[in-house]
Amino acid sequence: MSVKIYVPRDSAALAVGADEVAQAIEQQATARGIAIDLVRNSSRGLLWLEPLVEVAVGGQRLAYGPVTPEAVESLFEAGFLTGKTHPLAVGPIEAHPYLKNQERLTFVRAGITDPLSLEDYQAHEGFAGLRAALALSPADIVQQILDSGLRGRGGAGFPAGIKWKTVLQTNADQKYVVVNADEGDSGTFADRMVMEGDPFMLIEGMIIAGIAVGATRGYVYIRSEYPDAIFVMEEAVRRATTGGFLGKNILGSGKAFHIVIRKAAGSYVCGEETALLESLEGKRGIVRAKPPLPAIVGLFGKPTVINNVLTLAAAPYILSHGPKVYADFGMGRSRGTLPFQLAGNIRHGGLVEKAFGVTARQLIEDFGGGTESGRPLRAVQIGGPLGAYLPDSLLDTPMDYEALAAKGGVLGHGGLVVFDDTVDMAEQARYAMEFCAIESCGKCTPCRIGSTRGEEVIQHIQAKPAEAGAHAKLLRDLCSTMVNGSLCAMGSMTPYPVLSALDHFPEDFNLTAETHKAA
Amino acid sequence: MFASRLKRRLRAGARLIVVDPRSIDLVSSPHIKADYHLQLRPGTNVAVINALAHVIVTEGLLAQDFVDQRCDVEAFNVWREFVARPNNSPEALEVMTGVPAAKIREAARLYATGGNGAIYYGLGVTEHAQGSTMVIGIANLAMATGNIGREGVGVNPLRGQNNVQGSCDMGSFPHEYPGYRHVSDDATRTLFEKDWGLSLRKEPGLRIPNMFEAAMDGSFKGLYCQGEDIVQSDPDTQHVIAALETMECIVVQDLFLNETAKYAHVFLPGSSFLEKDGTFTNAERRISRVRKVMAPKAGLGDWEVTVALSNALGYPMHYNDPSEIMEEVARLTPTFAGVNYDKLDRLGSVQWPCNDEMPEGTPLMHIDHFVRGKGRFLITQYVPTDEKITPKFPLLLTTGRILSQYNVGAQTRRTDNVRFHEEDRLDIHPQDAEERGIHEDDWVGISSRAGDTVLRARVTERMQPGVVYTTFHFPESGANVITTDNSDWATNCPEYKVTAVQVVKVKHSSEWQENYRKFNETQLRLLKEKVVAGAVATVNGH
Amino acid sequence: MNAEHLIKMANDIGAFFEAMPNREQATKDVATHIRKFWEPRMQKSLMVYLSTHGDAGLKDIVRDALREFHPA
Amino acid sequence: MNSMTAREAQAVEAALSRFQDEQGALLPLLHAVQDTLGYIPKQATPTIASAFNLSRAEVHGVITYYHHFRQTEPAQHKLALCQAEACQARGCRSLTEKAEAALGCNLGEHTKDNRWELEPVYCLGLCASGPAMELDGKLYARVTPERLESLIRKKELS
Amino acid sequence: MDNNYPLHDIDYGTPKSVSEKTVTLEIDGFEVTVPQGTSLMRAAVVAGTQIPKLCATDSLEPFGSCRLCLVEIEGRKGFPASCTTPAEAGMVVRTQTPHLAELRRGVMELYISDHPLDCLTCAANGDCELQDMAGVVGLRDVRYGYQGLNHLKDQADTSNPYFTYDPSKCIVCNRCVRACEETQGTFALTISGRGFESRVSASESQPFMDSECVSCGACVNVCPTATLMEKTVIEAGQPDHSVLTTCAYCGVGCGFKADMKGSEVVRMTPWKDGKANEGHACIKGRFAWGYATHKDRILKPMIRKHITDPWQEVSWETAINHAASEFRRIQAESGVDSIGGITSSRCTNEESYLVQKLVRAAFRNNNVDTCARVCHSPTGYGLGQTYGTSAGTQTFKSVEKPTSS
């Protein structure tokens, strides 16, 4: 009997040499005449350990990592195929506290299965949600989503069930389900991991949404910076179609659903839902004014469910386990779990799926192990480039949309980027404006001109300490114009990192206590 | 302008059938794509309309209720029997029209069953030997499908000139008084006789082409021509010139020394629209005010000149203002009875009929019944034009206009619009061009049985093989030297749209063009050498 | 006036009306059309020409219609 | 107006035949052309516009909006360094300086001999293992200055 | 002149809603009832308040980009744009609050930080919405200075003979792009690039004359600044009065405002309330009116004996008497029917009427025809025979009627 070895092909693993490791393992095995069964699974999200090689021994999966191609020979020498120890040995992976202490509903199969194996998927509860949905009326499916309390995971946190309900109740000859996979926030990679690691789950979620609202076509809009995700999703759609899960007659139900994978072309704003729809229509990805809502006038003018990857990926679980099980996780109006992403200067970076309510400190210290540099933590940016920088003093705030907002924070897509004390917060603020200037679609004035002026004003503050006070005042006024005047989150939230940096780290802006107060 | 409104509707989802020998912009342009382009051979309009009608009748797509209620059923039955004949089927006519039968069938189904169906047309319908027949065919089709008498449907000619509708309404035709009443109608004639204080003739007069014929015959010698350039715009230029050259007194009233004025004996300066008060009536029967923004540059308004001429001829006319002319029109014309300047100022514009029944005008016609009572179907036998391709003239020429230029170009050529269209060109399909060794920008000679001229070629796939096209905005192009004296059987409207021609690569301009150049130089010299006011005028009669 | 043209014009009118099933009415329509749209000179010229050259070039329906017109 | 080379015309034609009839498929079409040629020829705009029933203006507007699309030929090697926050926190700024020094061109520019272009990229989704970069289409994470230099050297030799 | 018409029409900001249902709401304390679907911006105008705006104009669908028209609505978070927010029954809207004033000033400050400060010498001086809005919001200072990134050095495109495009004055409101799409349907304009680099582009960032532009002038018409401007206005200055008239080119019969400076036309502006054109026009009516003052115009009557003779300039009286005597002579020699007249489809109804009357009453025959002979006489015949009226059956607007019957 051959030994089963798992080497991930998630791009975070590939980027640190997973393919080379897999190749080395095959070479060693061949050279040694050992029969192995090499499975290319996905990542479990313990990214500091990638490439994380697992060996199935005695019903357990024993892990070694981070493995380099050069270390492979020593692993063979040490007898890792029978679970022998080695300096890289991690032990039984499922018992690893990083994993054990999570509440994985969405990432339940991550790293366990072969992402493109329909058999593997179904052997691990795959398509149970779809089968459940097919037995329900559209209105009942929508009700389950409503009951689960699922909110959009793209950042805005709008209840998914209400969107679905609106689309269901709008009559049209054609409706669409659109997946927002334009995961452009720095510090986030959960969408990518879903698509690369468990693509059928997303497909299943889309089909459920389609059946629920009466849509027969779906689009997945994936950023061009994610070539691996695009490849895996395209392959998964092909296989799901062949397998009868997509197409004109899903599982013999008489219902139809088709999925098209679309590649974006380098525009952060296209992560905003209406800009995304413009882009899918083949236009410049500029933001539409609302109303009308996409649920009523969406893609090609038709009613459209547009949800984030994680939102739709949660649907299969809700349908197969019931809304209550899902809703029992979380706190306040934030129900269920959120896959948090620990990034930046952190020792144990990776993906941590937890119920809402966990604190940033728990995530960063208990899971993340503090900064990677070992230096003191100075700031954490939560929620991507439009999220606020929080100082250490605010890290005990629970991760919940409302609780974080109360502290001036933004949960966004659940990404946490950690900075140690070498960070220059004025430079981070300047970068926030620069990023807005680079990515602004140019439609509304506060964002189009304001971002450029914002960068200039901060440069001025950096260059001329004597005038910092007056310019800090101007910066605040500009931020107010942008927050209240911009058409979409790009312009209206860029001030969040800027103002939070200014508020919590005035010393980096050449401000004295006095000038800070005056501004 | 209208195309912008049409395109807006198309972008909102309306479907489109284009019937045109050329691939015009409406067939395919940004956000516009015709569902069907029936790219017929020039001159086969009636065959195509009959084929469309055939499909509607034989496939049971008729709006029978509409026909029963609104139309002369007996005439309809005759028509139905006629179009249903196998020789009117798309299949039977396919070879002649060049339009695939299946396309005709699908287009007919779309028009008949696609909801509101409206027909818009231009001179591609009228300027044919069977122009009137084609208009009748269109009217039949709209009645047969019930596409008349409500919003969003109808039959709509798009007029080329600002006041085509108005000049016809005003009794400019030799057989009709204002309001389309025949001169032989005693009651109408009596009305005018009383108002004008003299007896009037009851036989029709000469139509323009008949005037030329009569001139050649020696029985027509004097002409008062207001604001039209017949030499450049009428077909068969050489024939027109020959006719004018026989005449003894041609009075031209115009802004410029146009091509006709070069054959004139009296030139009366005209005024531009900026210098006059009055009204224009557009293609939707809308009467709008023209308001003077500056005084007539020549001292007299056009209407004052006509009055003066009438007075000099011994028939006195008295008007203080153009509004009084409109009062007279209203007094004598039932469809204009309610029109006056005060109302136009108040409402902005009104669409005739405007009278006691419809005091604010009539946007939509034929709502409950046709103006003539029952709608009348007429059968439309297709009669091929005499302009057929032969070994000597193997191509068909069709002519038209371009957006930036206006007709004979007398105005637009005197603006920067020339930068958008600097010369008339001959459009030719690459295949025809290749056969003749013609490349883009080459000079090509075009000859027909009427004459020949030379233009530069534009090789374009907008044309279908076998068909060439040009515009007629520049006098030196001589496009109408080529066109023939063929005309519509009912009205003598010239057949500009079909002329059999040959096209060859040449190096020199045509003999006609050489003659034109010399004649034109002479005329411009004669203008330059004019004896100015103050000198004694000594022009005596014969 | 040019008789050839007039004959062609008359025949073109005839060609439209001759398709009508009611021959009597159609003949009348041809005559009416000529009367309503042709200036007397044209009518006369045609009639004079026909009376001297014969009506061989005419369509039957036109010939029948013109019976109503008396040569000058 | 210059016309496309045979190679360009063929690439555009092939892409059109795949996407012309798909609703709203201008982006996939442009991707297909760029994937084949490395860029979207300027002269292709009228062809693409007419095939999609769009104006040239619209196609131009779309191409110039998206930073991914380019109308000039790319350099032989493309190095894209992530400049976003997570990589900033892990030293991408100094890594970028290293790259600029090693290649002799600034971020956002290409070398004089057009062998290299150095582009910023804003997040490759490798935020837990920065600094990250993409070199000729392949992703690299936890990139040290030494590793970057050795990768550049390897490409230079190839 | 008693013909005068206001130089500037009221701009309601967004198109009229055609709904038959109405909603009643409160704007700045005044109750107003408008058709359902009406924007708050339009409802405010109806209620008597102009909300500041730059990207909105009532000939175009709302776009929501300039962010000057933000308002406060009771019970709603944030500051929705009044152009894109439909009026709803019971809404309580405030268009002027200290916070809104501050916001609008902030936006204007950004606009002006990338705009030339040459108002006094600018061709749009006095007819510039940007200038107006700077006044309305009370902008007093641009604290960013003028040293930052800007477009002030962008070169003007003067390739089109009738108007210029000066990108240095462009505020990227997209009105021109939208007019080219929505009003004209040519789609010749776009925005190239994005963000701060967004620029109005004719086709592929080309000179207008090399682009797909057909010079209809719709873009010029809606431009709120001097970016797209008629060359005649640049040369002559702003008009001082306006007269309504009708275009003398094609059969559409567009209503126009002749914008005048004394007795000189400086611009022809399509009339918003002209029912045939609803504020739109084409290159001919909009721009090609210079022929009226062209040097080729002949302004004195002339006569000659033979066409080979030079012309003699004479008085009106001489010319007319000469013509009359010639006509009478010909008629005496060759019969009453030997003369005739041709009316023009270019002339007014009144003029055409008089010419046919002249022929019938003074010439004493019916030899009158019109150039419509060679274009639409078959329409007259065909529709007369079948329907009984020699004219089109619909209004132009009818084409906009939805397909279902």
Kindly report, residue by residue over A272-299, the tens digit of the pLDDT: 999 999 999 999 999 999 899 999 999 9
B344-378 pLDDT, tens digit per residue, is: 999 999 999 999 999 999 999 999 899 999 999 99
Residue D137 lies in a domain: yes
A240, A256 contact by CB (below 8 A): no
Q: Report the amino acid identity of residue A181.
A: A
A397's CB contacts (< 8 A; 6+ apart) are: A359, A360, A390, A403, A404, A406, A407, A409
Identify the sign of the CA torsion B197, B198, B199, B201: negative
The set of chains that have 3 or more CB pairs under 8 A with D is A, B, E
- Region B270-295 average pLDDT: 94
Q: What is the pLDDT of residue E403?
A: 57
Interface list for B 153-192 with E (CB within 8 A): 153-175, 178, 180, 183, 192
Of C15, C19, C36, the CB nearest to B489: C15
Of A77-86, B233-242, B286-295, E315-324, the range with the lowest mean pLDDT is: B233-242
Q: Report the amino acid identity of residue A401.
A: Y
D131, D90 contact by CB (below 8 A): yes
B186, B300 contact by CB (below 8 A): no
Residue D142 lies in a domain: yes
A419-474 pLDDT, tens digit per residue, is: 999 999 999 999 999 999 999 999 999 999 999 999 999 999 999 999 999 999 99
Cα–Cα distances in Å, from A268 out to A223, B136, D125, E173? 9, 60, 13, 22
| B-E interface (Cβ pairs under 8 Å ≥ 3) | yes
E260, E240 contact by CB (below 8 A): yes
Residue A110 lies in a domain: no
DSSP element (H, E) containing B54: helix B45-58
Using DSSP's 3-state secondary structure scheme, residue E200 falls into strand
B516-535 pLDDT, tens digit per residue, is: 999 999 999 999 998 886 55
Q: Are residues A301 and A377 in the same domain?
A: no
What's chain C's length in residues? 72
Q: Please answer yes or no on whether A474 and E143 come within 8 Å at the CB atom.
A: yes
Q: What is the pLDDT of residue D2?
A: 67
Q: Which residues pair with B50 in a beta bridge?
A: none
B540 has a pLDDT exceeding 50: no
- Region A184-201 average pLDDT: 97
Q: Are residues D56 and D100 in the same domain?
A: no
Q: Which domain holds residue C62?
A: 3-67
Q: Quote the CA–CA distance of A86 and A91 in Å, as a whole number.
A: 10
Residue A105 lies in a domain: no
A-chain residues within 8 Å CB-CB of D61? 284
Q: Please answer yes or no on whether C20 and B78 come within 8 Å at the CB atom.
A: yes
Other beta carbons within 10 Å of D41: 23
The interface predicted TM-score (ipTM) is 0.94
Q: Are strands B222-226 and B249-254 parallel, antiparallel or unpaired?
A: parallel
The pLDDT-based confidence of B291 (bands split at 50, 70, 90) is very high
Residue E305 forms contact with D (CB below 8 Å): no
The pLDDT-based confidence of E299 (bands split at 50, 70, 90) is very high
- The pair of three-digit structure tokens given for residue B160, joined into one six-digit string: 């080329």
Token pair 């007397």 in the structure block, residue: C40
Q: Are residues A206 and A195 in the same domain?
A: yes
| A-E interface (Cβ pairs under 8 Å ≥ 3) | yes
Q: Which of B83, B173, B203 to mutate to test the interface with C (most CBs of C within 10 A)?
A: B203
Q: Which domain holds residue A399?
A: 330-420
DSSP element (H, E) containing A218: strand A217-222
D-chain residues within 8 Å CB-CB of E201? 57, 60-61, 64
Give the CATH number of the domain where residue A150 resides.
3.40.50.11540
Interface list for B 40-79 with E (CB within 8 A): none
3-state secondary structure B480-527: HHHCCCCECCCCCCECCCCEEEEEEECCCCCHHHHHHHHHHHHHHHHH
Q: Please answer yes or no on whether B28 and D53 come within 8 Å at the CB atom.
A: yes
Q: A410-435 b/e with 16+ CB inside 10 Å = b?
A: bbbbbbbbbbbeebbbbbbbbbbbbb
B274 has a pLDDT exceeding 80: yes
B20-38 pLDDT, tens digit per residue, is: 999 988 999 999 999 999 9
Of B325, B403, B532, the CB nearest to E214: B403
A-chain residues within 8 Å CB-CB of D25? 282
E363 has a pLDDT exceeding 90: yes
Give the single-character DSSP code of B531.
Answer: B
C72 has a pLDDT exceeding 50: no
E241, E260 contact by CB (below 8 A): yes
Nearest-Cα distance to chain C for E359, in Å, is: 15
Residue A341 lies in a domain: yes
Residue A506 lies in a domain: yes
Q: Are residues D139 and D86 in the same domain?
A: yes
DSSP element (H, E) containing C49: helix C40-53
Q: Quote the CA–CA distance of B145 and B63 in Å, as a whole number.
A: 5
Q: Are residues A91 and A15 in the same domain?
A: yes
Residue A297 lies in a domain: yes
B-chain residues within 8 Å CB-CB of C10? none
Q: Quote the CA–CA distance of A180 and A306 in Å, as a whole number.
A: 7
- Region A99-104 average pLDDT: 96
Q: Considering the entire predicted model, what is its pTM?
A: 0.94
| A-C interface (Cβ pairs under 8 Å ≥ 3) | no
Q: Are residues A414 and A433 in the same domain?
A: no
DSSP element (H, E) containing D139: strand D138-140
Residue C14 lies in a domain: yes
Q: Please answer yes or no on whether E345 and B30 come within 8 Å at the CB atom.
A: no
Residue D2 forms contact with B (CB below 8 Å): no
Helices (H) and strands (E) in chain A, counts: 23, 16
Q: What is the pLDDT of residue B542?
A: 41
The dihedral over CA atoms of A272, A277, A281, A287, expressed in degrees to the nearest 10, equals -50
Q: Please answer yes or no on whether D57 and E194 come within 8 Å at the CB atom.
A: no
Give the single-character DSSP code of A195.
Answer: H
Residue C72 lies in a domain: no
- The topology under which CATH files domain E163-291 is Alpha-Beta Plaits (3.30.70)
Spell out where E279-400 has E strands. Answer: 302-303, 312-313, 339-343, 368-370
The pLDDT-based confidence of B52 (bands split at 50, 70, 90) is very high
Token pair 């360009």 in the structure block, residue: D8
Cα–Cα distances in Å, from B362 out to B99, B163, B352, B356, E93? 38, 18, 6, 11, 41
Residue D26 lies in a domain: yes
Q: What is the share, in percent, of chain B residues with pLDDT greater than 70?
A: 98
Residue A169: phi and psi, rounded to 5, are -85, -5
Q: Please answer yes or no on whether B4 and E398 come within 8 Å at the CB atom.
A: no
**Annotated domain spans of chain E:** 7-136, 163-291, 298-339
B380's CB contacts (< 8 A; 6+ apart) are: B46, B49, B50, B82, B133, B134, B136, B137, B140, C19
Q: What is the pLDDT of residue C51?
A: 87
Q: What is the pLDDT of residue B494?
A: 87
D-chain residues within 8 Å CB-CB of B28? 50, 53
B538 has a pLDDT exceeding 60: no
B-chain residues within 8 Å CB-CB of D51? none
Closest among B531, B526, B413 to B472, alpha carbons compared: B413
E-chain residues within 8 Å CB-CB of A519? none
- The pair of three-digit structure tokens given for residue D63, joined into one six-digit string: 């191409």
Same fold, E7-136 and E163-291: no
What mean pLDDT value characterizes chain B?
91
- The pair of three-digit structure tokens given for residue E212, joined into one six-digit string: 């797909």
Q: What is the pLDDT of residue A1?
A: 67
B485 has a pLDDT exceeding 90: no
Give the count of Cβ contacts less than 8 A between chain C and E. Answer: 4
Of B205, B411, B491, the CB nearest to E291: B411
Closest among B366, B129, B133, B50 to E392, alpha carbons compared: B366
E149-171 pLDDT, tens digit per residue, is: 999 999 999 999 999 999 999 99
B-chain residues within 8 Å CB-CB of D59? none
Q: Quote the CA–CA distance of B418 and E209 in Å, as a whole number.
A: 12
Is residue B178 reached through a cis peptide bond, with omega within 30 degrees of 0 on the bond before it? no
The pLDDT-based confidence of E402 (bands split at 50, 70, 90) is low
DSSP letter for each residue of B225-255: EES--HHHHSSSHHHHHHHHHT-SEEEEEES
Residue C41 forms contact with B (CB below 8 Å): yes
Q: Please answer yes or no on whether A16 and D137 come within 8 Å at the CB atom.
A: no
Residue C41 forms contact with E (CB below 8 Å): yes
A335-373 pLDDT, tens digit per residue, is: 999 999 999 999 999 999 999 999 999 999 999 999 999
Residue D71 lies in a domain: no
Architecture of domain E7-136: Roll (3.10)
Identify the sign of the CA torsion B296, B328, B161, B129: negative
Residue A40 lies in a domain: yes
B219-258 pLDDT, tens digit per residue, is: 999 999 998 888 888 888 888 999 999 999 999 999 999 9
C-alpha count within 13 angstroms, C-beta hemisphere, residue B95: 2
Interface list for A 449-508 with D (CB within 8 A): none
Residue D70 lies in a domain: no
Cα–Cα distances in Å, from B111 out to B63, B116, B141, B520, E403? 12, 8, 9, 50, 11
Q: What is the pLDDT of residue A222?
A: 98
Give the CATH number of the domain where residue A449 resides.
1.20.1440.230
DSSP element (H, E) containing B430: helix B430-435
Q: Which domain holds residue D146?
A: 77-157
E49-86 pLDDT, tens digit per residue, is: 999 999 999 999 999 999 999 999 999 999 999 999 99
E252-284 pLDDT, tens digit per residue, is: 899 999 999 998 999 999 999 999 899 999 999
Q: How many distinct structural domains can be found in chain A?
A: 4
Q: How many distinct structural domains can be found in chain D?
A: 2
Q: Are residues A262 and A160 in the same domain?
A: yes
Using DSSP's 3-state secondary structure scheme, residue A424 falls into coil
A-chain residues within 8 Å CB-CB of E139? none
Q: Please answer yes or no on whether E297 and B256 come within 8 Å at the CB atom.
A: yes
Q: Are residues A203 and A258 in the same domain?
A: yes
A-chain residues within 8 Å CB-CB of D87? 186
Q: Are residues D89 and D145 in the same domain?
A: yes
B453's CB contacts (< 8 A; 6+ apart) are: B445, B446, B477, B478, B479, B481, B482, B509, B510, B512, B513
Q: Are residues A133 and A270 in the same domain?
A: yes
Other beta carbons within 10 Å of A251: 16
The set of chains that have 3 or more CB pairs under 8 A with C is B, E
Q: Quote the CA–CA distance of D89 and A419 in Å, as a whole number.
A: 5
Residue B486 forms contact with E (CB below 8 Å): no
E-chain residues within 8 Å CB-CB of A474? 143-144
Residue C39 forms contact with E (CB below 8 Å): yes
- Region A195-206 average pLDDT: 98
Q: Are residues D45 and D99 in the same domain?
A: no
Q: Are residues A179 and A39 in the same domain?
A: no
Other beta carbons within 10 Å of E78: 11
Q: Which of C38, C49, C59, C61 to mutate to test the interface with B (most CBs of B within 10 A)?
A: C38
Closest among E257, E258, E259, E254 to E280, alpha carbons compared: E254
